[in-house]
Amino acid sequence: MRIRIGAIGPRDSLDKIKEVAIEDSRIELVEFEYFHSDELEHLIQNNRYDVTQWIFSGQTPYYYALHNGWITEEEGYYPQLHGMGLLGTILKIFLERGEVTTALSLDSVNEHTVQLVSREYNLNSLHFELLPYNQFRTYEEIIDFHMQSYIKKKTEVAVTCLLTVYDELKKRGIPCYRIVPSHLAIQNVFNLLVSRAKSQIYQKSKVAIMGFELADPTALDSRNVYESRKNKLIAELELVSVAEKLNGVLSEAKDDRFHIYTTYGDVELFNSSQSLNDLVKEFELKTSLNLKVGIGSGYTIDSAMEHVGLAFESLDSLSNHSIPFVNQEKKVIDLSKENTTYFTVENLPDSWKKVMKENNYTPTIPAKIYHFIKLKRIEHFDSDLITSLLKNTDRNSRRILNELEQMGLLQVCKEESTGKPGRPKKVYTLML
C-alpha cells in the first residue's frame, strides 16, 4: 500500500519534492501550492483527512501550522537545511554574479551549520549576517532583517529560504538567492513520514477488548430460575448489539465479565460518532441493569486482556460513569471525557459536502461510509461491506451506493459475478 503524503509549499519547492517522491514507490504525493501563510489553514483543514502525513517546504510554514494547532508534531515535518544546500547556493552566487562577494545576509540557517560549511570548504573569508530562529518569524521581520543589512552596507547579497521573502527583496532591488533543501534532506523526511504512517496504521489495527461487568452482579439472580435466565439473555442480546456496532465479537461470560474483541480503530471510530457514555446509558435503559466498562488495548490478545483488568482496577480511583481505557503503555485514559470529532460530517472533504448540499442529501450515512473506508485503508469495496457497516439490508446498501455513485462521490471500478442469477455486483472506489 502506498502512503498518501500531502506536500505544502511554493511551486519550485513542490517540484523539488516531487522529483524525490517519484523515485519512491512507497509514496503517493498530493501537492498543495500556497503563496502566503494565510492560506495554510484552509489547505490543511480541508485536506487533512485525505492524506496520512504532511511534508512542508520549510521550517516557517511547518511551525506556523504547528503553532496554530492545525497539525500535531506526529502529522508532518519539513526538510532540514543542511550544509550542502547552503554550499550549493554560495557556489551559484559566485558563478552568476561574476564578481567577488564577501558578505551575505542569511535567514533560517543556524550558526553551527554555517561554521561547519565555512571550515569544511575554507570559506572563512566570507562574512555572514545571520537571522536564525527556532520556529518561525513573520515575513516582515525577515524582509526587514535583509533590508537593514543591505542598506547599512553590512552585506552585498541576501540569501533566504522563503519564496515570499525572495520575491519581495527582488522587487526592492536587493540581490537575492534562495536555498532549497537537498535531495537527501527531502528523502530523509519521506523516510520519517512513511515510518510514522505505517506505525499509525498498525496502531489502528491493535487488539482492543471491551470488558463489561454488572455494577450489581446479583441483579441477574432471581428466585424464579426462568426470570433469572431471561434477564441474562436480555443483557447478552444487548451486548451482541454493542459488538455489532463495534465490528467485534462477543465472548461468553467469564467470572461475571463479558468481553467484546475488536480493534482500537473500531473503538475510535465508534466513539467519534456516538459516545461510549451514550452506549452504556442505552444498555442500562433497555435492561434496567447498571454497567461498568473497562477497555484494554495491546499488540496481543493477552496484553489487551491484561489491560482490561487494569482498567477495572482503576475504576476505584475514578468518578462514577468513567470508562477507563488502558493502552499498551499501561496509561489510563478516561474515555467518558474523550469524544474525538475526527470522523464527523464536518470533517468530510469540501467536495463531498458541496455535492450533498447541492443534492439536498443527508450526509450522516455518507460520512460514516467515507471515514470507515479511510480508517481501514480500503481501496475497493462492494455492498456487502456497507451492509455489514450500516447493519441494514443488501438492497438498502445497493441503493445508497447507487445514489452516491450518481452524485459522483463513488466510482465503479469493476463488476464481479456473484454466481447467482441477476446483475453482477458493483465494486466501488471513493472519489475525492
| Structural domain range at position 27 | 3-80+184-202
Task: Report residue 356 as a C-alpha cell.
Answer: 450533498
Rounded Cα gap, residues 209 and 96, in angstroms: 65
Q: Which residues pair with 209 in a beta bridge?
A: 261, 296
pLDDT by position in tens, the chain (length 432)? 688 899 999 888 899 999 999 999 999 999 999 888 888 888 998 887 788 899 998 888 898 898 888 988 889 999 987 777 888 888 888 888 877 888 999 988 888 888 888 888 888 888 988 887 777 788 888 999 999 999 999 999 999 988 889 999 999 999 999 988 888 889 999 999 999 888 777 777 788 999 998 877 665 565 566 766 777 788 888 888 888 888 889 987 676 788 999 988 888 877 766 778 877 877 876 777 788 899 999 888 888 999 999 999 988 777 767 889 998 888 888 887 655 445 567 778 888 989 999 999 988 889 888 887 876 778 889 998 888 777 778 889 999 999 999 999 999 998 887 666 667 889 999 986
Whether residues 263 and 243 fall in one domain: yes
**Which residue type occupies 180?**
V
CATH of the domain at 41: 3.40.50.1860
Q: The whole model's pTM is what?
A: 0.58
- Residues 77-116: b if buried by 16+ CB within 10 A, e if exposed: bbbbbbbebbbebbeebeeeeeeebeebbbbbbeeebbee
DSSP 89-150: HHHHHHHHH-S---EEEEESS-HHHHHHHHHHTT-TT-EEEEE--SS---HHHHHHHHHHHH
Q: What confidence score (pLDDT) does residue 159 get?
A: 92
Whether residues 213 and 362 fall in one domain: no
Give the helix, strand, coil percentages of the chain, each rounded to 5: 50, 20, 30
Whether residues 266 and 221 fall in one domain: yes
Whether residues 194 and 213 fall in one domain: no
Long-range pairs for 123-132: beta carbons < 8 A, 24 or more residues apart: 123/90, 126/90, 126/101, 126/102, 127/102, 127/103, 127/155, 128/103, 128/104, 129/103, 129/104, 129/105, 129/154, 129/155, 130/105, 130/106, 131/105, 131/106, 131/107, 132/107, 132/108
Q: What confidence score (pLDDT) does residue 320 get?
A: 67
Whether residues 73 and 188 fall in one domain: yes
3-state per-residue secondary structure call for 333-378:
EEHHHCCCCCCCHHHCCHHHHHHHHHCCCCCHHHHHHHHHHHHCCC
Whether residues 255 and 354 fall in one domain: no
Q: What confidence score (pLDDT) does residue 224 get?
A: 60
Helix (H) or strand (E) run with residue 165 in it: helix 163-171
Q: Judging by beta carbons within 10 Å of its beta carbon (0-12, 13-18, 19+), is residue 222 exposed, middle or buried?
A: middle
Q: How remote is the C-alpha of 293 from its chain's centroid?
A: 28
Judged by DSSP in three states, 415 sits in strand
Whether residues 75 and 195 fall in one domain: yes
Task: Report residue 308 as a C-alpha cell.
Answer: 482490561
Of 312, 337, 362, which residue is a domain's last?
337
Of 337, 354, 381, which residue is a domain's last?
337
Whether residues 136 and 150 fall in one domain: yes
Task: Report residue 157 as a C-alpha cell.
Answer: 547579497
Q: Judging by beta carbons within 10 Å of its beta carbon (0-12, 13-18, 19+), is residue 59 exposed, middle or buried?
A: buried
Whether residues 46 and 194 fall in one domain: yes
Q: What confidence score (pLDDT) does residue 20 get?
A: 94
Whether residues 193 and 317 fall in one domain: no
Q: Are 136 and 64 in contact (CB under 8 A)?
A: yes
Q: What confidence score (pLDDT) does residue 225 get?
A: 67
Mark out the alpha helices in 205-253 (DSSP H runs).
225-245
Q: What confidence score (pLDDT) does residue 422 get?
A: 66
Q: What confidence score (pLDDT) does residue 221 get?
A: 62
Of 313, 337, 361, which residue is a domain's last?
337
Q: Which residues pair with 129 in a beta bridge?
A: 105
Number of structural domains the chain divides into: 4
CATH of the domain at 215: 3.30.70.270
Task: Report residue 369 as a C-alpha cell.
Answer: 461510509
Instruction: Please name the residues in contact with 101: beta carbons below 8 A apart, sequence gap of 6 or more.
Output: 93, 94, 126, 156, 157
CATH of the domain at 422: 1.10.10.10
Q: How remote is the C-alpha of 163 from its chain's centroid?
A: 27
CATH of the domain at 161: 3.40.50.10660
**Residue in the block written with cell 454488572:** 214
Whether residues 65 and 198 fall in one domain: yes
Whether residues 329 and 220 fall in one domain: yes
Pairing of strands 157-160, 332-334: unpaired
